[in-house]
Structure 1
Amino acid sequence: MADVAPNLKTPTDLNRNDTRTVAEALNIALADCFALYLKTKNFHWHVSGPHFRDYHLMFDDQATQILGITDAIGERVRKTSQTTLRSIGDISRRQTIVDNDRDYVSPDEMLAELREDNLKLIAVFRDARERAEEANDTATSSIVDDWIDQAEERAWFLFETARKG
């Protein structure tokens, strides 16, 4: 990550080198949130079958929740005097969640893939929280706990929805 342009520096009492590592982790989380948001919307638009309505609505709810935290992540990065994502290309260079461009994905595969992706996102959030704690950035550490909880709930709902019998 390059140094922050002078006119983008914001006041903070946190060590800028420490916040740089936190910002790097948050930017990966942000890229993964955008990737997961788009995948969830993709599945929302393309789900079919006997559980269409339930899955369609659940995927939409989950996509809305994921998109809802993106602004908080970006703003948290800026509050620590760092910079965040700038483009789709920037997202693609940082994301760890793999896109799904297949023409058809079965509903069972959708549920499983989104569950696994939410679990990956939890790991990314935990890494960001650890870095924040090392940097004495309690505000970031605290807010990341909420994002972990939300992703755990999404993974749980996807798991329970996929259960048979």
Structure 2
Amino acid sequence: MNINIGIKETDRQAIVQGLSVLLANTYTLYLKTHNYHWNVTGPMFNTLHLMFEQQYTELATAVDEIAERIRALGEFAPGSYSAYAALTSIPEDSSIPCAEDMIRNLVEAQETIARQAREVIAIASEASDEPSADLLTQRMQAHEKTAWMLRSLIA
């Protein structure tokens, strides 16, 4: 069936594209954070191990919410490693970094997603797509807060 929810086709496609990148970035950050949870070492082990678990759990929920919004807009959500690799702007690690570099890498990734969400929210707002704008606002808040908490560990 055709989609007729009050959003122009070109706007809907632009929002879906932005949300697809957000999904890929969020999933990539989920994997990175989970990897760090498993492999962190050093004096901050317990603190970081628990913090990373909270973060990847929140990201897992976010992945589902973003994908479901893409579906509500009438498109299929990307869901493969190759699709995510083509869309993401968050780099993979080639090795296991030290704890402090893990924190720095996660700050950078969190800020990347916040910036990307801010770009898409402009498109969603212009198209009067309040549900997408609300989702993007929530994601910006979560990523900016997490980046702040991580930055605070390495003053």
Shorter chain as denominator, the TM-score bin is over 0.9
Stretches (4+) displaced over 3 A: none
Return the alpha-carbon distance in structure 2 between the equivalents of residues 18 and 27 of structure 1: 14
- Name the structure 2 match of 1:144: 136
Post-superposition Cα deviations, 1:47-100, rounded to whole Å, max 9, x if no partner, equal 001110000000111111111111111111111112220311111110111111
Instruction: Structure 1: give runs of 5+ residues left out of the alignment.
Output: 1-5
1:107-152 Cα distance to aligned partner (Å, 9 max, x none): 1101111001100010111111111112221111112111110001
Provide the C-alpha distance between the structure 2 equivalents of 1:152 and 1:29, rounded to a whole number of angstroms: 15
Confirm or deny that 1:128 pairs with 2:123: no
For residue 97 of structure 2, what is the aligned residue in structure 1? 105
Q: Which amino acid aligns with 1:43?
A: Y
TM-score by length of 1: 0.89
Alignment of 1:58-97 (within 5 A): 58-97=51-90
User: Does the residue aligned with 1:71 lie in a helix, a strand or coil?
Assistant: helix
Partner of 2:42: 49
Paired amino acid for 2:112: K
Q: Equivalent pairs: percent with the same residue?
A: 26
Alignment TM-score, normalising by the size of structure 2: 0.95
Q: Residue 116 of structure 1: which of 101, 108, 111 is its match?
A: 108
Residue by residue over 1:14-68, the C-alpha shift from the partner in whole angstroms, topping out at 9 and shown as x without a partner, is 2122100000000000000010000001111110011100000001111111111
Measure, in 2, the Cα distance between the counterparts of 1:139 and 1:51: 39
Amino acid aligned to 1:62: Q
